Amino acid sequence: MLEKYRTKIDEIDCALLKLLAERLTISKEIGKHKKRNNISIQNKEREKQVITERIQKFKELGFDDENFMVELFELILKKSREVQQEQGN
């Protein structure tokens, strides 16, 4: 039974990684757009909005761990900014 759960976790992790890769690919395109249009990489208001919305969505899914969502999305957003910055160089 434990092995079945672990296999399922592995499958979910692979799906998460594919989605993160897709997100970063889109971040590259956003970086190109921002460079062409002379737009700042970081938009703090947008980042606050994203984190707030993800916290709410996590709560709707039955999990009330605001700190986890803040930490997770701060890390994701940091990487997205890095990828966008690379497109501007």
Q: How many domains does the chain have?
A: 1
| Mean pLDDT per 10-residue section of the chain, whose length is 89 residues | 97 98 97 95 97 98 97 98 87
Q: Give the CATH number of the domain where residue 45 resides.
A: 1.20.59.10
pLDDT at 46: 97
pLDDT at 89: 67
Cα separation, 42 vs 64, in Å, equals: 28
Cα separation, 47 vs 78, in Å, equals: 10
DSSP state of 41: S
DSSP string across 34-78: HHHTT--S--HHHHHHHHHHHHHHHHHTT---HHHHHHHHHHHHH
pTM of the full predicted structure?
0.91
pLDDT at 3: 96
Range of the domain at 8: 2-88
Cα separation, 26 vs 50, in Å, equals: 16
